[in-house]
């Protein structure tokens, strides 16, 4: 794809984005060893104006990664530690009665909760009851909080980076599918490699952890989010994302046999939007002003793993969402010619 119809300002913005991405990765490397894919996926979610859910066993630096990312940006940051006794007002804020000392008049005043920040770390979000989890929904989707008949807008940019522990499911409250769908990406944090774990032990036990300097501010992030929306997408890339999502749905003519056999429900239209938007965000992170099929393939697992569900037969055969997505990518060829379907 040529750059003839692209404004010089947009091309310069793409170069700034790539430079900021490299600087942020360099700064995070002072504290975080490895996890390059996780860092990329989190930044893709941020530049796509979405939220991300990070899942991994304890001790994989999920919380440290998010707090370090906050240090690498000039953003307001709040951490909410989710517990079984956390109430919705502890997250969104509450109204209190204040008395005017001069007039004696009493009136309600809204005291904003920790949700009113640019970057929210929702730590162990599956440790709190559904009522409190639902308090996050309006903020995540509508970017506002309603209290006392008034609407309070959340700051821009705003994104929630949540963590959850896949172990010790007793006493936890699994996120409902409706709330899972609010997360743009569902990111799996895996164990480090042998060399990375060696370096982690060396750094931590010798006190060699570095400090992080801010690299990007809120205004620049908003500009890059707007830039992502202007990144062009060819019919081939859009068609590939469209075909992947439609193939996840049982009973559709496009569905492979294994989908009808092992998937109980597939991704909705939000799946296509996520794949395309995240592919565009990944493109500008790598200094390109157009998305490719490779960008779609790079984000397909975090974009779809929480939007499809295997049935009992899949569980009996030890087939999780990631294995089903691998089979899906083999069944949907990227080099097929995709065109807009007839009405």
Tens of pLDDT, residue by residue over 139-148, are 888 888 877 7
What the block records as the tokens of 308 is 């499809």
pLDDT at 301: 94
> Residue 272: pLDDT above 50?
yes
Contact indicator for 117, 79 with CB cutoff of 8 Å: no
pLDDT at 19: 84
pLDDT at 2: 46
4: DSSP letter: T
pLDDT at 1: 47
Residue for token pair 């404004």: 7
Average pLDDT over residues 104-127: 84
21-28 contacts, C-beta under 8 A, 24 or more apart: 21/285, 21/286, 23/215, 23/216, 24/69, 24/72, 24/73, 24/215, 24/216, 27/68, 27/71, 27/72, 27/212, 27/213, 27/215, 28/65, 28/68, 28/69, 28/72, 28/212
pLDDT at 168: 64
Q: Which of 146-150, 192-196, 197-201 is predicted least confidently?
A: 146-150
CA distance 163 to 52: 9
Closest CA to 209 of 222, 200, 196, 221: 200
Mean pLDDT of the chain: 85
> Residue 100: pLDDT above 70?
yes
Contact indicator for 200, 60 with CB cutoff of 8 Å: no
pTM above 0.85, yes or no: yes
Query: Checking phi first, is residue 335 left (phi over 0); if not, alpha (psi -120 to 50) or beta?
Result: alpha
Average pLDDT over residues 233-237: 91
**In this structure, what is the dihedral angle of CA atoms 74, 22, 119, 73, given to the nearest 10 degrees?**
-10
CA distance 239 to 293: 10
Contact indicator for 162, 183 with CB cutoff of 8 Å: yes
pLDDT at 169: 65
Average pLDDT over residues 202-218: 77
pLDDT at 171: 66
pLDDT at 275: 95
pLDDT at 246: 92
CB neighbour class for 104 (10 Å; exposed up to 12, middle 13-18, buried from 19) = exposed
Per-residue pLDDT reduced to its tens digit, 119-170:
888 888 888 888 888 888 778 888 888 777 788 888 888 989 888 877 666 6
């Amino acid at each position: 794809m040529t750059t003839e119809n692209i404004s010089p300002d947009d091309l310069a913005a793409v170069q700034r984005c790539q430079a900021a991405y490299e600087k942020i990765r360099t700064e995070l490397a002072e504290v975080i060893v490895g996890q390059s894919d996780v860092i990329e996926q989190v930044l893709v979610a941020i530049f796509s104006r979405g939220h991300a859910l990070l899942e991994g066993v304890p001790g994989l630096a999920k919380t440290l990664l998010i707090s370090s990312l906050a240090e690498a940006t000039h953003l307001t940051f709040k951490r909410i530690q989710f517990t079984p006794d956390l109430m919705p007002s502890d997250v969104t804020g509450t109204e209190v009665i204040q008395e005017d000392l001069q007039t004696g008049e009493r009136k309600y005043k809204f005291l904003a909760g920790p949700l009113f920040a640019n970057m929210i770390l929702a730590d162990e979000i599956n440790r709190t009851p559904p009522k409190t989890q639902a308090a996050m929904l309006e903020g995540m989707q509508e970017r506002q909080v309603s209290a006392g008949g008034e609407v309070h807008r959340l700051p821009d940019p705003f994104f929630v980076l949540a963590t959850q522990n896949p172990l010790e499911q007793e006493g936890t409250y699994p996120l409902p599918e409706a709330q899972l769908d609010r997360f743009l990406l569902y990111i799996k944090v895996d164990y480090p490699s042998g060399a990375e774990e060696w370096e982690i032990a060396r750094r931590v036990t010798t006190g060699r952890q570095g400090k992080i300097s801010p690299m990007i501010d809120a205004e620049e992030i908003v500009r890059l989010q707007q830039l992502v929306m202007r990144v062009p997408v060819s019919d081939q890339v859009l068609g590939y994302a469209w075909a992947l999502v439609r193939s996840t749905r049982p009973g559709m003519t496009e569905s492979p046999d294994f989908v009808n056999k092992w998937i109980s429900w597939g991704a909705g239209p939000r799946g296509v939007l996520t794949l395309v938007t995240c592919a565009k965000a990944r493109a500008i992170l790598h200094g390109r002003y157009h998305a490719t099929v490779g960008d779609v393939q790079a984000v397909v697992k975090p974009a779809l793993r929480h939007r499809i569900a295997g049935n009992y037969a899949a569980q009996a055969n030890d087939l999780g969402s990631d294995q089903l997505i691998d089979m899906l990518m083999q069944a949907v060829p990227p080099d097929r010619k995709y065109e807009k379907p007839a009405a």
